[in-house]
Structure 1
């Protein structure tokens, strides 16, 4: 008897962030039903790289524009409606925040301190990636500060 092989569907997403008053803030969005706080993500569009596809999702779901860092920050898997998804996560320093974007009527968005964002997100895998983000930005800021000495 043959076993059914579950195909893993590829997605990509971003952690949209900005620096404000010397602090790093993360932009979270709600799911379409506005029940949970999440990060922008979606299926990788055929013919697009995962970072480019993640940038497209960030625009559609959160109304943010910026240059996605092509270096993958982390990966996580989840199940939904019997399917398995693998999400590659990237950083997106936000250059512009647009009020009129495709899913504006379906989602809320909110800028939060990283520790507040971690508290609001339910998925442990996303919390883990946000903690990696904190470490990455902290070491990046330390190295920049040391070069200015």
Structure 2
């Protein structure tokens, strides 16, 4: 298997109306709850999302980065998940566009650092032992409530709360109000609900 290498530089970066275009995702998985004291296995599942550390300060992030000219927005989101978090999977749903400003992303095409991120839900099927940014990134699987508390950026919390939770509330995934976690019935299946973003 060839070595995976992260893309660098901004020579292929997409811009629109003074905004740097970003693609990212909220990776997720289902974890079975532990069984009872008699050794019986549980059929209950907990939904967890994967976050990574920020390289510029405290708090956790979802994988995201620049959308480039030679790829679709879906390809960019999947690439960022692989480069930053070392995961592969299926893009299940388009969560929406989220606007933010970044001092580190200011350049001649976006002097104010304005960005527009297209975010997706990514169902994780493979978690790699080695990935391009593993020397700079630490992965953390957390519950929805934990993610809301430790997320570094408000726009990412919005993507989780308004995008991910609204999508997942359609019957497949239900919030357990008593524990503030998310539970999935064993009979529920994962269906592909990928929606194309409008650009």
Could you tell me which of 114, 138, 143 is aligned with 1:84? 114
Q: Which of 1 and 2 has greater Rg?
A: 2
Name the SS of the counterpart of 2:169 in structure 1: helix
Name the SS of the counterpart of 1:116 in structure 2: helix
Shift of the 142–31 alpha-carbon distance from structure 1 to 2, 3 Å rule, reads closer
Which structure has more helix as a fraction of its residues? Answer: 1
* Residue 140 of structure 1, CA deviation: 3.4
Is the counterpart of residue 45 in structure 1 residue 68 in structure 2?
yes
Identify the residue that residue 24 of structure 2 maps to in structure 1.
Answer: 13
> What TM-score, normalized by structure 1, do the two folds share?
0.85
Identify the residue that residue 137 of structure 1 maps to in structure 2.
Answer: 168
> What TM-score, normalized by structure 2, do the two folds share?
0.65
Gap runs ≥5 in structure 1:
1-5
Identify the residue that residue 10 of structure 2 maps to in structure 1.
Answer: none
Paired residues in the alignment total 141
Q: CA RMSD in A?
A: 2.2
Name the SS of the counterpart of 2:156 in structure 1: helix
Is the counterpart of residue 108 in structure 1 residue 138 in structure 2?
yes
Identify the residue that residue 94 of structure 2 maps to in structure 1.
Answer: 72
Identify the residue that residue 3 of structure 1 maps to in structure 2.
Answer: none
Could you tell me which of 37, 50, 54 is aligned with 1:27? 50
* Residue 16 of structure 1, CA deviation: 0.2
Provide the rounded CA distance (Å) in 2 between the counterparts of 1:104 and 1:14: 18
Contact 2:23 2:119 survives alignment (8 Å): yes
Provide the rounded CA distance (Å) in 2 between the counterparts of 1:26 and 1:120: 12
Contact 2:58 2:152 survives alignment (8 Å): no
Worse-superposed segment, 20-29 or 71-80: 71-80
Is the counterpart of residue 118 in structure 1 residue 148 in structure 2?
yes
Contact 1:33 1:106 survives alignment (8 Å): no
Provide the rounded CA distance (Å) in 2 between the counterparts of 1:115 and 1:15: 14
Worse-superposed segment, 40-49 or 120-129: 120-129
